[in-house]
A and B are shown apart, each in its own frame.
Chain A
């Protein structure tokens, strides 16, 4: 199958999943529920549609960020959550909530983006010294635990039990009760970040042969790092600000697609965006179907899928990493 054919197939999958997301839930709404005057139409258009579009947006953003990060760090274990970018974005967002700037507002998004940008720049300092895959993952662990500790500190210091509970619920990562407001915050940020990332596709390819060759080919590494930091801050900051941490999407998706699209970083970007959208859409539809009154949190579900996947990757790469 040609590359365009494969991309069309993925896009078709995303369209199907979007359709499924509108129908699936505690209340199954049949297609004719959309008919004029049917009260179930409100469920679809006002609750499920914005939530599905948000799932699509952040899934695409996270898949794309994972593919770009793996290309930039030349590290198959890279992912915004594993490298601590999401954790620092979450710390930024929690700081904003702590300061009383509300939940799911532009201010929270701005704080989250600042956190994400800081994480990418710190990782970039490491990449500038041609760090190994292990060094990156360790640096991510350090950033994550530091951000986690500071987040916990803010929760302890929260002015009221209500505020801490708000922060904790938000942190777990979910699309529950997210609507048009959140979509209006996240979508422009993710789109802008994605557009910026896609302009750097060929530079990521050049890094395949290492930094010395990339520089000799005319890649301005400082500029690349800066643009990536801005793009990832927009995407990860924008996503985390409205949904909390949803991990492993950026790790899983490029891996699943690499055998299908080839290993060149530039050729994985668009497919990974589609694959991420598909994964998060399907996962979010399935968590709505969990029995009981509540629903499984999306961030929890992704970690339950992602952690074993990460472990399997470690087993596969253990020889190279040793």
Chain B
């Protein structure tokens, strides 16, 4: 269990998170949703141990996360930030191999096997020797996820992994995360595409203005009433051949 307890983060007098409690469970996908500036990315980086909260704790299986050293933390938690820079144009395999940094075994049999598995799982094996700078947006997103998978973390925390992807690649990436979660990995993603979150996630955390407004199964949280209250636009569930789909509706003050 990866849990946040009464997290409070403020910067320069502005409160980014206030008394937020959240739990992530192994094998489940948790969608973190909310308007821009709600504190989603801040919550994610606190859960990843990359940012120390002003108050509150992050607990990993009941023990404080910050008691772990950087490498021990990195072995447990894989972090996929929003559009990470690629400062040097390196090939895909060494990029994925960075995922083994904390294990320090990229050159050994064990590390090599994990890297190849991650490349295969993301269908990036044919691209392994290509320079990452020459990949398309979708391929690059898969390479970056393969980098996280190569570290074989128990938890994957991803900040808007879908942002740069077209709809087909969004479905594909969510399906990949579903498959990873099925192996027992706990996944949390910050996501703006509410319909996709409603479809693929198990749980959801709805944030607004640094506060947790609702949490629980997606069916309850990503529902027209709480979403309408937070986003200020209308939502409805449309019946389709694929089941009910969450749809947003323009509503005053929007034209």
Contacts and interface: CB of A to CB of B under 8 A. Distances in A.
Interface of A: 71, 74, 202-203, 205-210, 212-213, 215-220, 262-265
Nearest to B106: A202
Nearest to A205: B98
B85 A210 contact: yes
Contacts of A210: 81, 84-85, 87
A217 B87 contact: no
Given A212-B79, A212-B81, A213-B79, A207 B70 contact: no
B48 to A, nearest CB: 6
13 contacts: A202-B106, A206-B98, A207-B87, A208-B98, A212-B79, A216-B79, A217-B74, A217-B151, A218-B72, A219-B70, A220-B70, A264-B94, A265-B88
A206 B88 contact: no
A144 B101 CA distance: 36
Main secondary structure of the interface of A (DSSP, over half): helix
Nearest to A216: B79
A235 to B, nearest CB: 22
Interface in B92-113: 94-95, 98-99, 101-102, 104, 106
A216 B157 CA distance: 10
A206 B147 CA distance: 11
A218 B89 contact: no
B81 A74 contact: no
Contacts of A220: 70
B18 to A, nearest CB: 23
Given A202-B101, A216-B79, A209 B70 contact: no
A265 B95 CA distance: 12
Given A206-B98, A263-B88, 17 more contacts: A202-B101, A205-B94, A207-B87, A208-B86, A208-B87, A209-B85, A209-B98, A212-B45, A213-B79, A213-B81, A213-B84, A217-B74, A217-B99, A217-B102, A218-B73, A218-B102, A262-B91
Given A213-B79, A217-B101, A218-B71, A74 B87 contact: yes
B90 interface: yes
A205 B104 CA distance: 13
B81 A263 contact: no
Give the residue among B71, B86, B94, B98 with the most A Cβ atoms within 10 A. Answer: B98
B78 interface: yes
Given A202-B101, A210-B84, A217-B99, A263 B79 contact: no
**What are the 6 tightest A-B residue pairs by CB atom distance, in nearest-first order?**
A218-B74, A216-B79, A218-B102, A74-B87, A263-B88, A218-B71
Give the residue among B87, B102, B147 with the most A Cβ atoms within 10 A. Answer: B87
Nearest to B87: A74
Interface of B: 45, 48, 50, 70-75, 77-79, 81, 84-91, 94-95, 98-99, 101-102, 104, 106, 147, 151
Contacts of B48: 216
Given A205-B94, A217-B74, A218-B73, A212 B102 contact: no
A209 B71 CA distance: 17
Give the residue among A71, A216, A217 with the most B Cβ atoms within 10 A. Answer: A216
Nearest to B133: A263
A206 B84 contact: no
A216 B90 contact: no
B88 A208 contact: yes
A205 B96 CA distance: 11
A212 B74 contact: no
Contacts of B77: 216
Contacts of A205: 94, 98, 101
Contacts of B90: 208, 262-264
Contacts of A209: 84-87, 95, 98, 147
Contacts of A207: 87
A209 B78 CA distance: 14
A215 B70 contact: yes
A40 to B, nearest CB: 48
B88 A219 contact: no
